[in-house]
Structure 1
Amino acid sequence: MSIVRLDHYNIAPKDMEATVQFYVDVIGLTVGYRPDFGVPGYWLYAGDRSVLHLLGNDERSTGPTGRVDHIAFWGKDVGKMIKRLKSKNVPYKLRTIESAKMHQIFVTDVDGLSLEIGFSSDEPVPEGSGQTFGL
């Protein structure tokens, strides 16, 4: 198991459209594809990579870490990561998003910050990996 890179960060902006306009007009990101998560939001891209995810105003938008919803990494070998989390008794949630061709593991760090680790859905998820939900 290895973390390959920082993938994106996710914020819940106070003013969604002003935030999109700032990151597009000032920073130079572009609005791109975003799977339907059932809540409003945008994915902003640098080239062909989504690097900033904006989450609409819902119950997750004002969590214990303020406006930062989560930070995401990209990894290899979802099975090894699950084994590692289980061996350290770290609770996690696993979901597969077919439309994005990815598995996601969510954990919470010691300060309450949500971390996402994404993996290609081409990697098999081991049997008995725990709670799984899909989109």
Structure 2
Amino acid sequence: MQLDHATIVTADLDTARRFFVDVVGLTQGARPPFSVGGYWLYANGRPVIHLVEATVPGTSVRAAPRIDHIAFRLESAAEWQALLARLRATGVAYQTAQVPPMGPQEAAMQIFVALAPGVVVEFVTALHHAQP
């Protein structure tokens, strides 16, 4: 089994689309003609992020239970450095955290971006990929 996609419902479709295309590096692709607006964003030929236009007003209160965030794993130092360059070039704010090693799992580096209230995107890579 593998994760098929994540759906993000937002009142600001264009900002979310620009983030995932311009910063994350996904591509906008075909989407069925649903009755609400949205975008399907692709990685490696698969639609992995579904953006859906919010049809009811949002709230700033975080509901529980909820899905807290989605995460993308970057497998090389080149991917990691390219992501950092795009974040800086677009002025997107982010926070970093280091995950210590655990058993056979090596240390990792994380980047967290708060895309909108209640919507967090994480990027993670092996710590050695994140070293300059």
TM-score when scaled to structure 2? 0.42
Structure ranking higher on relative contact order (CA contacts 8 Å, 6+ apart): 1
Higher strand share: 1
